[in-house]
């Protein structure tokens, strides 16, 4: 199993990139978020990978974070979701935002993602709810993360969708903010727009 590649970036043609690892070129399929973080051509990068072996192909999929790779793996376990659709989801939303939509049962938000219809959204929520604690919050359980999570939960209880609450909190988050301060600031900012 190939789980990581470190090499020079030879090509970057979304959704594929080519890495030169000690003279061997590896083609890696990746979500658009990876391309935003790639260095210039010829520079070295480390990409976490998932190798999918099928009867007709061996395909490497690449990610910049452990959470993104874990979400990709979790999505593949949902019936009806293959690697292409999983990449589309990861290209359209952040891992944290997706996890919030799942936990909040936000099927409306999921349907807005490419390739996901109402039935697929409902299936994703049913099959993934409660199973994404290991993919969200790359930083772990810091005090800032806890305050932000508490603020997002409060905003969703006030009627905002999970994705809207995430955006509202991200717009006002500071390292020293308490949950109460984040809620107040997010609501003030929302009133201005």
pTM for the structure as a whole: 0.72
60 and 101: one domain? no
Question: What are the CA-CA distances from residue 42 to residues 11, 45, 46, 107 (Å)?
Answer: 9, 9, 13, 42
- Could you tell me the CATH number of the domain that includes residue 29? 2.40.50.140
pLDDT on residue 133: 64
76 and 99: one domain? yes
pLDDT on residue 143: 43
132 and 85: one domain? yes
For the range 49-52, what are the long-range contacts, defined as Cβ-Cβ under 8 Å and sequence gap of 24 or more? 49/2, 49/3, 49/4, 49/5, 50/3, 51/1, 51/2, 52/76, 52/83
pLDDT on residue 50: 97
pLDDT on residue 167: 78
100 and 88: one domain? yes
73 and 128: one domain? yes
Give the end of a domain, one of 138, 154, 179. 138
pLDDT on residue 134: 60
Output the tens digit of pLDDT for each of the chain's 193 residues.
899 999 999 999 999 999 999 999 999 999 998 998 999 999 999 999 999 999 999 999 999 999 899 999 999 999 999 999 999 999 988 888 898 888 888 898 899 998 999 999 999 999 998 787 666 544 433 344 567 778 877 887 788 876 677 778 878 887 788 889 889 999 998 888 7
86 and 103: one domain? yes
93 and 48: one domain? no
82 and 56: one domain? no
134 and 168: one domain? no
110 and 79: one domain? yes
- Could you tell me the CATH number of the domain that includes residue 75? 1.10.150.20
Domain tally, the chain: 3
**Domain carrying residue 166:** 140-193
50 and 73: one domain? no
Give the end of a domain, one of 49, 64, 79. 64
Facing residues of 173 across strands? none
71 and 133: one domain? yes
Q: From start to end of the chain, where are the E strands?
A: 4-13, 16-21, 24-29, 44-53, 58-63
């Amino acid at each position: 199993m190939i789980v990581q590649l470190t090499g020079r970036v030879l090509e970057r043609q979304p959704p594929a990139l080519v890495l030169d690892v000690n003279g061997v070129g590896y083609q890696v399929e990746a979500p658009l978020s990876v391309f935003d973080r790639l260095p210039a051509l010829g520079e070295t990068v480390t990409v976490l990978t998932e190798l999918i072996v099928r009867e007709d192909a061996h395909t490497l999929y690449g990610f910049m974070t452990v959470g993104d790779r874990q979400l990709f793996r979790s999505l593949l376990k949902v019936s009806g979701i293959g690697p292409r659709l999983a990449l589309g989801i990861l290209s359209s939303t952040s891992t944290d935002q997706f996890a919030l939509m799942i936990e909040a049962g936000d099927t409306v938000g999921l349907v807005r993602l490419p390739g996901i219809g109402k039935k697929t959204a409902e299936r994703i929520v049913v099959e993934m709810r409660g199973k994404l604690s290991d993919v969200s919050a790359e930083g772990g359980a810091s005090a800032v993360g806890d305050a932000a999570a508490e603020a997002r939960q409060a905003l969703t209880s006030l009627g905002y969708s999970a994705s809207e609450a995430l955006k509202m909190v991200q717009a006002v988050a500071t390292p020293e903010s308490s949950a109460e301060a984040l809620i107040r600031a997010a609501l003030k900012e929302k009133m201005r727009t």
